[in-house]
Amino acid sequence: MRRRPLLASAAVGLLSVAATTSTQLLAQSGESVYRVGILRPSAPPPSASDLIVAGIPRALRELGYVEGRNLKIELRWAGGDFSRLPALAEELARADVDLVVAVSAPAARAMKVAAPNLPIVMFGNFDPVALGLVASLARPGGNITGVLIAPDGTLAGKRLELLTQAVPKARRIAYLAPPPSDATRLQLQETRRAAAVLGLELSDVEVVDGDYEKAFAAMAAQRPAALFVAAHTLFVRDRRQIIELAAKYKLPAIYEWREQVKDGGLMSYSTDQYGLYQRLASYVDRILKGSRPADLPVEQPTQFKLVINLQTARALGLSLPQSLLLRADEVVE
């Protein structure tokens, strides 16, 4: 019962030790050192090898930025408490970093307020123009640019359409909702619009204080035929718990990332997560070499992948249409 908090604490401790060791090594090196801040709204994952933690440093390493040699990363996590983001942003602004990678719209907004002149590379699934973070995607015009997960909106409508193809008789779909924010509200609005077009009843259940058991119990009481897991960093971090509960309640579910399907989720639709980190790293590289965020268009992905886990489908007693399987870019046996 206490395993997850202990693991999270261990991960924080490992990151702290790694940061201290890195600082000591950098002090002994004569090479110029770049300081990059990363601000996330979520809590640290239980493993420091998780893609969420390792992805950006790995992508930067491919471009020649190596922690302990010429790179120092300042990580800040809000632990799922968005109210902490402004203080963490101010902390990074005082940390003498060269730029900050802000994951999510709330993190980007907090960073922009705390450091209006510091280069910021945002990353997430939201509309930065509608939220006032940039003047336009082509010409950001300020101190923020970045990489978006979806080219228009949040891909919610497409995911819901694919879920109904997997479960064609579904009329009521449960929507697992993260803590509310501008970006998550936009995603829910898009999902509701898509549900109306498809003639579906959407019942949204918010996860409060990380209590997935309670959320799934409330969801099951409404007897949905399938589950739409909203796109959110918390749901990526906690994917194994969500996947186990979806299996327990026999709910065919669609997720955001391939990693969620590899771990037992039924299906996902998105671009490649690590590919996005590589694009993010390329923007960090260009800014560190002198480019201005105002001159770098906000990048949008152009290629997406449908991933299906056939083993999970069999466990659910689900016979997927051949037409859907033929559309899949990857099938996990």
Each residue's pLDDT tens digit, 138-156: 999 999 999 998 887 778 9
Asked whether residue 222 falls in the same domain as residue 183, the answer is yes
Strands 120-124 and 99-103, by their bridges, are parallel
SS3 254: strand
> Are the C-beta atoms of residues 260 and 244 closer than 8 Å to each other?
no
Q: What is the mean pLDDT of residues 61-77?
A: 94
Asked whether residue 45 falls in the same domain as residue 115, the answer is yes
> Are the C-beta atoms of residues 107 and 40 closer than 8 Å to each other?
yes
- Rounded CA separation 65/71 (Å): 6
Torsion over CA: 102, 106, 108, 114 (sign):
negative
Asked whether residue 172 falls in the same domain as residue 26, the answer is no
Return the structure tokens found at 257: 């990332």
Mean pLDDT (the chain, rounded): 88
pLDDT, residue 24, reads 46
pLDDT, residue 25, reads 47
pLDDT, residue 302, reads 86
For the cut 50, the answer to whether the pLDDT of residue 17 exceeds it is no
Asked whether residue 114 falls in the same domain as residue 55, the answer is yes
pLDDT (tens digit per residue) in 39-52:
998 777 656 556 65
The gap between the terminal CA atoms of the chain, to the nearest Å, is 32
Which residue range forms the structural domain that includes residue 85? 3-149+272-295
- Rounded CA separation 235/240 (Å): 9
Return the structure tokens found at 101: 């990678």
pLDDT, residue 48, reads 56
Q: Which of 91, 16, 45, 107 is nearest to 238 (CA)?
A: 45
Asked whether residue 278 falls in the same domain as residue 328, the answer is no
For the cut 80, the answer to whether the pLDDT of residue 26 exceeds it is no
Q: Spell 78-101 as b/e; 16+ CB within 10 A means b.
A: bebebebbbebbeebbeeebebbb
Asked whether residue 314 falls in the same domain as residue 276, the answer is no
Asked whether residue 75 falls in the same domain as residue 112, the answer is yes
CATH number at residue 215: 3.40.50.2300
Q: Is 275 exposed, middle or buried (0-12, 13-18, 19+ CB in 10 A)?
A: middle
Q: Which tops the pLDDT comparison, 20 or 166?
A: 166
143's CB contacts (< 8 A; 6+ apart) are 112, 115, 116, 117, 118, 119, 120, 293, 294
Asked whether residue 310 falls in the same domain as residue 171, the answer is yes
For the cut 50, the answer to whether the pLDDT of residue 6 exceeds it is no
Q: Where are the alpha helices (DSSP H) in the chain?
A: 3-27, 51-62, 85-93, 105-114, 156-166, 182-198, 212-221, 233-237, 239-248, 258-262, 273-288, 310-315, 322-327
pLDDT, residue 49, reads 55
Asked whether residue 10 falls in the same domain as residue 91, the answer is yes
Q: Which residues are 84's β-sheet partners?
A: none
Q: Which of 207, 202, 247 is nearest to 228 (CA)?
A: 202
pLDDT, residue 41, reads 86
- DSSP code of residue 223: -
Task: Give the total number of structural domains in the chain.
Answer: 2
Strands 267-270 and 305-309, by their bridges, are antiparallel
Asked whether residue 205 falls in the same domain as residue 278, the answer is no
> Are the C-beta atoms of residues 288 and 98 closer than 8 Å to each other?
yes
Q: What is the mean pLDDT of residues 117-125?
A: 94
Asked whether residue 74 falls in the same domain as residue 95, the answer is yes
pLDDT, residue 233, reads 81
- Rounded CA separation 80/77 (Å): 8
pLDDT, residue 169, reads 93
Taking CA atoms, 40 is separated from 9, 19, 123, 161, in Å, by 17, 17, 10, 30
Lowest mean pLDDT segment, chosen from 25-39, 43-57, 114-128, 287-301: 43-57
| Residue 27 pLDDT class (50, 70, 90 cuts) | very low
pLDDT (tens digit per residue) in 175-218:
999 888 777 888 899 999 999 999 999 999 999 988 999 999 99
Asked whether residue 219 falls in the same domain as residue 328, the answer is yes
Lowest mean pLDDT segment, chosen from 22-36, 219-233, 273-287, 311-325: 22-36
Q: Is 330 left (phi over 0), alpha (psi -120 to 50) or beta?
A: beta
For the cut 70, the answer to whether the pLDDT of residue 286 exceeds it is yes
Taking CA atoms, 4 is separated from 43, 47, 126, 241, 331, in Å, by 11, 11, 29, 11, 31
